[in-house]
Structure 1
Amino acid sequence: MRSRFDRQLETLNTMLIEMGMQVETAIAASIEALKKQDTILAKKAIAADTEIDQQEKDIEAMCLKLLLQQQPVAKDLRLISAALKMITDMERIGDQAADIAEISIFLSQAPYVKTPEHIPQMAAATAKMVTESIDAFVKKDLELANRVIADDDVVDRLFDAVKGDLIKLMSADSSSGSQAIDLLMIAKYLERIGDHATNIAEWVVFSITGKHEDAAGSEG
């Protein structure tokens, strides 16, 4: 019975990895769409959100099945409850990637006054956080989870750099205001993706140690 349960836990890990990969694809497509002003790529990111929503439902069903099939020990309960929390954050990341893609479609209608510089760096940093947070869960890697939590500061600094870029842009050219506001919204969505990746990493820490601390450092 236990070996069957362990195999199902492995299946859960695989499903989480696949959902993580789909989330990464959505982020990459939405940012590439932004850089190239490519509406086809943007629509791909929006379509990925539907798949991510379905994956959330499938993983939720698997977690409930695991809880009902056998009386899990404390460690199993932590792992399954962490997975349930993580998929909520991943689903929200998918939503935010779709939001970025929708703004990208709007921005494709006119050339950029100035090509976004720090936004692709933010996107790369947040996508890395998402990937590593899922890896940390699957590998039960506490050090990697803590590294993801620390990396949120990098994303926050990049967000400040984007704001600085856009303020300079609007100061130099008042007609760029509309574009600058849309780009700032995209940067804000990326900052939120970083926050969700941090949440995932914090739940990984909980699944390993039994302790959950929020980003401010207070136990939850």
Structure 2
Amino acid sequence: MSSPRKKFDAELAELNDSLLRMGTIAEEMLGKALVALANQDVALADETIDMDDLVDELNLDIETTCLRLIATQQPAARDLRVIFAALKIAGDVERVGDYTVDIAKTAKKLAGRPLFKPLEDIPRLQAIVRQMLHETLDAFVSRDLSLVHKMIDDDDQVDHLYHSLHEELVGFMKKDPSTVEQAVHLLLIARYLERIADHVTNIGERVFYVETGELKELH
């Protein structure tokens, strides 16, 4: 018969696996949403939206598991930090899914006619945000704070790109009113990506908390 500690460790490992699955789905959604935008692919946008149900289900499962472990295992300080962090991280990944759904819905609104400018900054923004999500979830599993520090640098890039794109699109709208509708939608997508980066930064804060016991704002 396995010891209670071995059983508890196995449950924590399962919790990590569930978080990684949830994060992987959110990453995939983010990639598909941007492909749907670039290719004006309404079917792919709908597929992205439907995938959010999986993220929501995993979030509920993780929440249930975390609360059960706290109630039944009386975890010690570090284990309690891991469980608390997992609960909060799942909530942040769920919000990533929600914002990605918003991106996919906006992509559907932009489908059907050519964009007034090439898609350049938004795909670049998405690539950085997606990498941040991947590396920060890896940091939670590996407890590698160097990945968290890299994420902080990446978030600075996101902020710079977002503000640069915001300024450019506002300039287009001022010069040519016919661009307003599309520019507003593109601004929304950029804002959603910037908000996703904020939630990823929250995940980094949870990893920092697990390792140091210190709750610290990283942005």
With structure 2 as the length reference, what TM-score do the two structures score?
A: 0.95
Q: Which of 101, 111, 114 lines up with 1:98 in the alignment?
A: 101
**Does 1:30 pair with 2:33?**
yes
- What are the ranges of 5 or more consecutive residues in structure 1 without an aligned counterpart? none
* C-alpha distance in structure 2 between counterparts of 1:188 and 1:172, whole Å: 22
| Residue of structure 2 equivalent to 1:118 | 121
Letter in 1 for 2:155: D
1:52-131 alignment to 2 at 5 Å?
52-131=55-134
**Does 1:183 pair with 2:183?**
no
| Residue of structure 1 equivalent to 2:140 | 137
| Residue of structure 2 equivalent to 1:207 | 210
Query: RMSD in angstroms over aligned alpha carbons?
Result: 1.2
| Residue of structure 1 equivalent to 2:159 | 156
* C-alpha distance in structure 1 between counterparts of 2:6 and 2:214, whole Å: 27
Paired residues of 1:148 and 1:201 also in contact (CA < 8 A) = yes
Letter in 2 for 1:184: L
Spell out, residue by residue over 1:133-181, the C-alpha distance to the aligned partner (whole angstroms, 9 max, x if none). 1000000111111221232111001101211331343344321111001
With structure 1 as the length reference, what TM-score do the two structures score?
A: 0.94
* C-alpha distance in structure 2 between counterparts of 1:215 and 1:141, whole Å: 16
Letter in 2 for 1:117: E
Paired residues of 1:46 and 1:98 also in contact (CA < 8 A) = yes
Paired residues of 1:145 and 1:201 also in contact (CA < 8 A) = yes
| Residue of structure 2 equivalent to 1:173 | 176
**Does 1:198 pair with 2:194?**
no
| Residue of structure 2 equivalent to 1:3 | 6
* C-alpha distance in structure 1 between counterparts of 2:117 and 2:41, whole Å: 17
* C-alpha distance in structure 2 between counterparts of 1:70 and 1:189, whole Å: 38
* C-alpha distance in structure 2 between counterparts of 1:70 and 1:86, whole Å: 21
Paired residues of 1:149 and 1:202 also in contact (CA < 8 A) = no
SS in 1 for 2:63: helix
SS in 1 for 2:104: helix
* C-alpha distance in structure 2 between counterparts of 1:184 and 1:161, whole Å: 11
User: Which one is further off, 170-179 or 8-17?
Assistant: 170-179
- What are the ranges of 5 or more consecutive residues in structure 2 without an aligned counterpart? none
* C-alpha distance in structure 2 between counterparts of 1:32 and 1:116, whole Å: 11
